[in-house]
Amino acid sequence: MTLTDSTTPARAGVRYGDPDFALQATSPVIEHQLRHRSVRAFLPTPVTEEELRAVVAAASSASTSSNLQAWSVVAVTDPERKRRLSDLAARQEFIVEAPLFLVWVADLDRGHRLAQRNGEPLDATAYLESTLLGVIDTALAAQNAVVALESLGLGSVFVGAVRNRPEEFAGELGLPPHSVAVFGLAVGHPDPTEDAGVKPRLPQTAVLHRETYDAGKADAGLPAYDERLAAYHRAHGLTGAWTERVLARLAGAAALGGRDGLRDALERRGLPSR
Ligand SMILES: Cc1cc2nc3c(=O)[nH]c(=O)nc-3n(C[C@H](O)[C@H](O)[C@H](O)COP(=O)(O)O)c2cc1C
């Protein structure tokens, strides 16, 4: 179904930081997705049990490799546990402030338990493919959850820093072997005073290729994007353009916050990558 909405050009333009960008085909779901932004400041209002159940139902509705559903989610509301988890995840204060912290877990242990109960082998889980499968399933479920919670008026931010110290994180949550926290999601009612907006994304020319990959064409729009993102940053009290941030983030192991040891940690958690 194609709907038209006079507000769409403006929203799509904001998404790309480009007032000239407009959409002719759209839908209520797309309208909703165009408004996404991460929320890092929350009101103390709790997330209700019904809201949590709705969000998990949306997560469960994501596609999943071979219907394995190789993910679990741990809902943490205990302030002291959130504090300990925050300490393990680069001391990001919004983890404590958010009424709900969801930890999304790539879970191959359910399969291991099935195999054990049925006396069957589970040798395929020794391969990187199975760990990737778990991570992919987990990411698809979690992003469905984000779209759902935003539709309920809630906000959230992903927390990749849960992978900084994966074994201590697993210990705090009582995770079984053959499972690992892939990311957290701090969830709550957005604090309206937070200084944040819809962050412009790369232009479609940078991400959308036709038939074959064309690096030259894709990169031609990057200088203009740098300017757009720098303008967004300036408007919200931040600094830097996209290029310098990407290069700093990917410069070396020091920027990985301990995640350079992730492969060994996964191996120790029973998720080897042959
Ligand atoms: C897997 C993943 C991990 C992330 N980890 C963090 C994090 O640890 N701390 C944080 O403040 N934001 C984190 N983010 C949020 C990103 O910084 C944010 O999505 C990105 O800058 C785009 O901004 P937007 O979501 O507001 O559009 C993470 C996002 C993803 C997808």
Exposed/middle/buried for residue 237 (C-beta within 10 Å: 0-12, 13-18, 19+): exposed
| Across 37-56, average pLDDT | 98
Closest CA to 142 of 190, 226, 74: 74
Identify the band that residue 9 occupies on the pLDDT scale cut at 50, 70 and 90.
Answer: low
Is the pLDDT reported for residue 219 higher than 90? yes
- Helix H or strand E encompassing 82: helix 79-88
| Across 253-259, average pLDDT | 94
Is the pLDDT reported for residue 130 higher than 70? yes
For the Cβ of 156 lying below 6 angstroms from any atom of ligand 1, the answer is no
Atom of ligand 1 nearest to the CA of 89: 8
Atom of ligand 1 nearest to the CA of 36: 27
For the Cβ of 161 lying below 6 angstroms from any atom of ligand 1, the answer is yes
Rounded Cα gap, residues 143 and 146, in angstroms: 5
Output the CA 115–ligand 1 centroid distance in Å.
36
Q: What is the DSSP string of 145-198?
A: HHHHHHHTT-EEEEEGGGGSSHHHHHHHHTPPSSEEEEEEEEEE-B-TT----P
**Coil, helix or strand at residue 229:** helix
Instruction: Classify strands 179-188 and 71-76 as parallel, antiparallel or unpaired.
Output: unpaired
Contacts of 49 (CB under 8 A, 6+ apart): none
Dihedral of CA atoms 62, 65, 67, 71 in degrees, nearest 10, equals: -70
| Across 202-208, average pLDDT | 98
Output the CA 159–ligand 1 centroid distance in Å.
7
Is the pLDDT reported for residue 32 higher than 60? yes
Output the CA 93–ligand 1 centroid distance in Å.
14
Is the pLDDT reported for residue 127 higher than 80? yes
Is the pLDDT reported for residue 86 higher than 70? yes
Is the pLDDT reported for residue 6 higher than 50? no
Is the pLDDT reported for residue 176 higher than 50? yes
Closest C-alpha residue for ligand 1 atom 9: 159
**Structural contact between residues 187 and 99, judged by C-beta atoms closer than 8 angstroms:** yes
Mean pLDDT is lowest, of 3-7, 68-72, 197-201, 222-226, for 3-7
| Across 93-109, average pLDDT | 98
| Across 264-269, average pLDDT | 96
Question: How much is the pLDDT for 3?
Answer: 36
For the Cβ of 197 lying below 6 angstroms from any atom of ligand 1, the answer is no
State which CATH number among 1.20.1730.10, 3.30.1540.10, 3.30.70.260, 3.40.109.10 fits the domain covering 49-192+254-268. 3.40.109.10
Identify the band that residue 7 occupies on the pLDDT scale cut at 50, 70 and 90.
Answer: low
For the stretch 39-48, pLDDT in tens is 999 999 999 9
Domain ranges of the chain: 1-35, 49-192+254-268
User: Crossing angle for the helix pair 49-60 and 128-151, nearest 10 degrees?
Assistant: 130
Atom of ligand 1 nearest to the CA of 196: 26
Tokens describing residue 153: 């008026």
Output the CA 109–ligand 1 centroid distance in Å.
27
**Structural contact between residues 202 and 113, judged by C-beta atoms closer than 8 angstroms:** no
Is the pLDDT reported for residue 4 higher than 70? no
Mean pLDDT is lowest, of 6-15, 40-49, 202-211, for 6-15
Output the CA 206–ligand 1 centroid distance in Å.
20
Is the pLDDT reported for residue 8 higher than 90? no
| Across 143-150, average pLDDT | 98
Atom of ligand 1 nearest to the CA of 38: 26
Output the CA 262–ligand 1 centroid distance in Å.
19
Output the CA 158–ligand 1 centroid distance in Å.
5
Is the pLDDT reported for residue 5 higher than 50? no
Question: How much is the pLDDT for 10?
Answer: 83
Rounded Cα gap, residues 274 and 267, in angstroms: 10
**Structural contact between residues 56 and 133, judged by C-beta atoms closer than 8 angstroms:** no
Mean pLDDT of the chain: 95
Question: Which of the pair, 163 or 5, is modelled with greater confidence?
Answer: 163
